[in-house]
Structure 1
Amino acid sequence: MKLIETIKNIWKIEELKNRVIMTFSLLLVYRFGAQVVLPGIDSTQLGGFSSNFEGGGIGSILNAFTGGAFANASVFALGIMPYISASIVVQLMGIAIPYLQKLQKEGESGRRKINQITRWLTIGICLIQAPSYLLSLETLGVPRSAYMMQDNMTLFVVISTIILVTGCVFAMWLGEKITDKGIGNGISLLIMVGIIATLPQAFLQELNTQWTDGGGAFVVLIEVVIWLVIILACVMLVMATRRIPVQYARRTATGGYEKNAFGARQYIPLKLNASGVMPIIFAQAIMFVPAALGSLEQGWAKEVAALFADIFGFWYNLVFALLIIVFTYFYTAITVPTNKMADDLKRNGGFIPGIRPGTETSEYLDRIMSQITLPGSIFLALVAIFPAVVSLMGVTQAWALFYGGTSLLIMVGVAIDTMQQINSYLLNRHYDGLIKSGKNRKQQVA
């Protein structure tokens, strides 16, 4: 009943209702595009190609991120990953290139220029990935007879490259429109919807396997309970905060501050995982690089690709975990402006008890962030590699991907972020939120 009442409240707020409708509409467009096969390919002959992306392997993650579009040879086969890769490159370059550093300090105008640079870089990455994908289709299981232009493959590759690049740019546009006109982070929502689209099939495959091999419903029930416990752990990781007490001096009637007179104590909530799901997405994008090396002719490149081909293997998960820890520190450093927080506190007459305002406060906040980021990043890395652990216990690889890892962390993180945005709209209009319980807040205020 509480959920139904909350949905009714969402529908009462015109702006929120329009944003929710816009979000679902654009997500449906993205899911529809994921089923549209590239012109020139017979979709009835893609069975062998699709089977190559079931279970483990880099291809299965790529397919999950694109919601099956990769295995469908769809116009959205590249998904949104080229944009994620471009974002990583731009942010890393921002550390070393003065021009990008200058843009980062210019506020909204600088952010727009950085976004434009990211878009152009996305197109450049697509122009590399699209031909590579098309030229590997036959190797991965698309029969020669499936190509309607098999006598002119060059023309097919050129036309399909244009379509794939356009599809990626359109997906990028959809994500940005969801962020601007809808609810939640559009890019993250596109990834989450793609992942959720593969979940029912993975669960049914696990159910069928356990039923056939004698594990039965009891084993499946235990697996579901463990899965729910891991989801709870992910929620705790996303929501956990360290509260820093702050004292504010009491203002006088003239707008100044009374000496030795203090108002109510407040808190600065520093999140244990301030970077959200971005370290997972960044690390996963980097882990696609070794697989790409397999297309090179050099022997060392093929050895590296073979070493990291198994996403449940030791070396893959070791490097993946280390990258997550590194990116967690990196992304936290660029998204949590401790200097600005200290300046805002000082400007508003606030201070942390026992810490001098200004530089000392900034250093204190930075030290606290470093201390809480370490356990947060390690826990994030452990959850990310947990699918490799459950796969050793007999869980099918397709279903194991949802026991933590990139898939589950993105689903939980994006879902919580979206719910918090909806919650803010509801609470601002004096309605019950999705997270906090209670009746219509108008009655409480009255």
Structure 2
Amino acid sequence: MKNAWRIPDLRRKMLYTLLIIVVFRFGSVIPVPFLDASALSAMMNTASESNSALGYINMLTGGAFSYASLFAMGITPYINSSIIMQLLTIAIPALERLSKEGETGRKKIATITRYVTVGLGLIQGIAYYFYLRSNAGVVKVTDGFAGAFVGIVIVLTFTAGTALIMWMGEQINDKGIGNGISIILFAGIVARLPVTFGGVWQYFSLGLESPSTSGQYLVLAPLFIVLFLVVIWVIVFMNEAERRIPVQYAKKVVGRKMYGGQSTYMPVKVAMSGVMPVIFASAILSIPQFVKFFWNPTEGFGKAFMDAFSNNGWLYTVLYFLLIIMFAYFYMSVQYNPLEMANNLRQNNGTVPGLRPGRPTAEFIAKILSKVTLIGALFLAFVALIPIIFTNITNMQGLSLGGTSVIIIVGVALETVKQMESQMMMRHYKGFLD
């Protein structure tokens, strides 16, 4: 950070990113009109104590969801829109052709993604409005023409917040440091850290006050902190881990000089897809919680079904595990093409020792990628599920910081630092060559 601050261009980018984060935090507490703050606070306290996915959504938005503020929808509609567009790019030939047209095609796809984001934000805003309206006293006016006008204003305010936060993320991509979506998610989660550790302290204080009935918290609360630090270490370790494929380059003579003849390796990251599988899986599994806004059964099969999709439910846990693995493989297939990698090696006179160039090399690389992706996906799933398992065993409810949050925090921090290092390296070499 200190070295980057010395470079004027990077310093401007860092300050711009910080400015966007400050604006995001201000927008997270600007209230939407026509809502009763005290009734809203009581409603969201109940949701947080039940440790439902609504509490998780609130954590991702940095508390904006619980305030029903301008940025209550957070970056979730944009994430869902990106998922939809990436899937459609594979399924629809016209979009696939656009994606291969270079910068022009990517800009057109980005424009379509923005429209889809606004549409999803509108749907999500309507769902949230009906959820607020179903709780007595939260929306001040609900009847007649005035009630319809109030509803339209609230929904449009939520949608405008979604569009603004999407624009802010894109501005970070263009003029700041790091990935815009990830930085905004990072800022929201970090903003909730004091609340999480405050909850841990409350459990520890409860153990001190009543050692006979709640003495287990004297061990479980410090254990949570230790587990938090261990998870950070594991994430950093796995983020740096890689599988190295040995590559041998043949010697060739160009004029009077000889090139090649060296042994090197092709690095394949274990966590090659970063935090995106976790973010996408979380975004998809938050959808049933938005169904609750329209339909919230209190008994029978419906209640059992919705409880299974709660943050600690068995169905949520199983689907979370499977979706993380699925998205990890999806990202691997998008980012890596084994046949293209093998052809690039052959064109540069490179071979994997013991394998013929071409298809045998491509099959070997595909096999390696599949194994490494499985290891990385299992690691992501394991870290994401640790807090859910810990909560179910210890019954320590209301701790909003989960494995997903820690993965996002650490992953975004590491990616941002690497981007800063690469930009510093580029400027260093440019100055050296001049």
Query: Would you say 1:391 and 2:386 are equivalent positions?
Result: no
For 1:232-311, what aligned pairs fall within 5 Å after superposition?
232-254=233-255, 262-295=260-293, 302-303=302-303, 305-311=305-311
| Count, aligned residues | 420
For 1:126-165, what aligned pairs fall within 5 Å after superposition?
126-140=121-135, 142-144=137-139, 146-147=140-141, 152-165=146-159
Q: Deviations over 1:350-382 (max 9, x none)?
A: 222222333333322111100111122122111
* Pair 1:396–1:128, CA change in 2 (3 A): same
Aligned-residue CA RMSD (Å): 2.6
Query: Which of 75, 89, 100 is matched with 1:94 structurally?
Result: 89
Gaps of 5+ in 1: 1-6, 432-441
For 1:69-80, what aligned pairs fall within 5 Å after superposition?
69-80=64-75
Choose 305-314 or 122-131, whichever is displaced more: 305-314
* Pair 1:123–1:143, CA change in 2 (3 A): closer
Once the 2 structures are TM-superposed, how far is the Cα of residue 20 of structure 1 from its aligned partner? 0.7
Q: Which residue pairs with 1:419 in the alignment? A: 417
Q: Which residue pairs with 1:374 in the alignment? A: 374
Q: Deviations over 1:193-252 (max 9, x none)?
A: 111111111111111122123357665433322210111111122221101112223453
Once the 2 structures are TM-superposed, how far is the Cα of residue 148 of structure 1 from its aligned partner? 9.9
SS at match of 1:266: strand
* Pair 1:354–1:369, CA change in 2 (3 A): same
Once the 2 structures are TM-superposed, how far is the Cα of residue 13 of structure 1 from its aligned partner? 1.0
For 1:41-440, what aligned pairs fall within 5 Å after superposition?
41-55=35-49, 56-140=51-135, 142-144=137-139, 146-147=140-141, 152-214=146-208, 215=215, 219-254=220-255, 262-295=260-293, 302-303=302-303, 305-394=305-394, 396-399=396-399, 401-404=400-403, 406-430=404-428
Q: Does the Cα contact within 8 Å between 1:329 and 1:373 map onto a contact in 2?
A: yes
Q: Deviations over 1:380-410 (max 9, x none)?
A: 11111111111134363333x4352x21111
Choose 288-297 or 71-80, whichever is displaced more: 288-297
* Pair 1:304–1:91, CA change in 2 (3 A): farther
CA distance in 1, matches of 2:338, 2:136: 52
Once the 2 structures are TM-superposed, how far is the Cα of residue 293 of structure 1 from its aligned partner? 3.2
Q: Does the Cα contact within 8 Å between 2:80 and 2:280 map onto a contact in 1?
A: yes
Query: Quick check: which one's helix share is greater?
Result: 2
* Pair 1:358–1:105, CA change in 2 (3 A): farther
CA distance in 1, matches of 2:191, 2:110: 29
Aligned partner of 2:101: which letter? E
CA distance in 2, matches of 1:80, 1:149: 31
CA distance in 1, matches of 2:181, 2:143: 34
CA distance in 2, matches of 1:235, 1:66: 24
Choose 335-344 or 417-426, whichever is displaced more: 335-344
Choose 187-196 or 41-50, whichever is displaced more: 41-50
SS at match of 2:261: strand
Once the 2 structures are TM-superposed, how far is the Cα of residue 100 of structure 1 from its aligned partner? 1.5
Q: Which residue pairs with 1:3 in the alignment? A: none
SS at match of 2:64: coil
* Pair 1:298–1:22, CA change in 2 (3 A): closer
Identity among equivalent positions (%) equals 37
* Pair 1:219–1:128, CA change in 2 (3 A): closer
Choose 221-230 or 76-85, whichever is displaced more: 221-230
Q: Does the Cα contact within 8 Å between 1:20 and 1:183 map onto a contact in 2?
A: yes
Q: Deviations over 1:26-52 (max 9, x none)?
A: 111111101100122243543213313
* Pair 1:403–1:88, CA change in 2 (3 A): closer
Aligned partner of 1:275: which letter? S
CA distance in 1, matches of 2:46, 2:182: 26
Choose 305-314 or 210-219, whichever is displaced more: 210-219
Q: Does the Cα contact within 8 Å between 2:128 and 2:290 map onto a contact in 1?
A: no
Choose 208-217 or 111-120, whichever is displaced more: 208-217
Q: Deviations over 1:101-142 (max 9, x none)?
A: 212222222211111111111111112111111121133465
* Pair 1:255–1:367, CA change in 2 (3 A): farther
* Pair 1:338–1:22, CA change in 2 (3 A): farther
Aligned partner of 2:346: which letter? K
CA distance in 1, matches of 2:309, 2:147: 28
Aligned partner of 1:349: which letter? N
Q: Does the Cα contact within 8 Å between 1:227 and 1:403 map onto a contact in 2?
A: no
Aligned partner of 1:39: which letter? P
Once the 2 structures are TM-superposed, how far is the Cα of residue 316 of structure 1 from its aligned partner? 1.2
* Pair 1:291–1:255, CA change in 2 (3 A): farther
Once the 2 structures are TM-superposed, how far is the Cα of residue 72 of structure 1 from its aligned partner? 0.5
Aligned partner of 1:119: which letter? R
Gaps of 5+ in 2: 209-214
Q: Deviations over 1:142-182 (max 9, x none)?
A: 535x4599971210111222221111111001111111111
Q: Does the Cα contact within 8 Å between 2:60 and 2:185 map onto a contact in 1?
A: yes
Aligned partner of 1:127: which letter? L
Choose 97-106 or 422-431, whichever is displaced more: 422-431
Aligned partner of 2:159: which letter? V
